[in-house]
Amino acid sequence: MKKIALFASGSGSNAEKIADYFADQEGVSVSLVLTNNPKAGVIDRARRGFGTGRVHAPVVVFDRPTFYQTNQITELLQNQAVDLIVLAGFMWLVPGSLVQAFPNRIVNIHPALLPKFGGKGMYGHFVHEAVVAAGEPESGITIHFVNEHYDEGAVIYQASCPVAPTDTPDEVARKVQVLEHAHYPRVVAEVLASL
């Protein structure tokens, strides 16, 4: 059995798409959901079994000192024999000790075509606002491995969407989210299969 741990800080729509994708697959389970936000929507989604209602994984809520000043999260993931860590809207930089414990086994999705519009503070609406302000003709998603720096790990997959001159950041966000939901679960499955 290959085990996935999902990290999310917000509503959890990508986490839900991933959990639902694997709900009927033999040999793969979402074994943990972790969040740094005690009010994150992903908690409610996980507790009801995500969209299918059949993926019941324990939820772990942690704070900044636990994540950065102890090895509790790394040890938890190791003790659970997690094969792949998937960041699905997780907003904190992953500590080097966790990256080293799971080399090329932590993936993230970024709502732009890296290396453009990446780095500290570039997430969610900040990315889409920057894309529109720059007059970019396209945006998209980048799925990449995680290293010790924001958005600098090796790229696994990219997909793009057009950005019209009249598009607002909210319209770009909607286009990008369609790509996220369409591609992230499949790419996670491909990475998992390669382990």
**Model-wide pTM > 0.85:** yes
pLDDT tens-digit map of 145-174: 999 999 999 999 999 999 999 999 999 999
104 is in an annotated binding site: no
Kindly list the domain boundaries of the chain, sorted by start residue: 1-103, 108-182
Q: Report whether pLDDT(25) > 90.
A: no
Position 142 scores a pLDDT of 98
- The mean pLDDT of the chain is 96
Is 140 annotated to bind ligand?
A: no
The predicted pLDDT at position 172 comes to 98
What's the pLDDT band for 56 if we cut at 50, 70, 90?
A: confident
110 catalytic residue (yes or no): yes
pLDDT at residue 96 above 90? yes
108 is in an annotated binding site: yes
| Residue 121 Ramachandran class (φ > 0 left, ψ -120 to 50 alpha, else beta) | left
- Out of 110, 128, 144, 183, the active site residue is 110
Superfamily of domain 108-182 in the CATH hierarchy: Formyl transferase, N-terminal domain (3.40.50.170)
CATH class of 1-103: alpha beta
Q: How far from 55 is each of 78, 100, 110, 112, 186, CA to CA, in Å? A: 21, 29, 25, 29, 17
Domains 1-103 and 108-182 share a fold: yes
14 annotated as ligand-binding: yes
Compute CA 127 distance to the chain's CA centroid, rounded to the nearest angstrom: 15
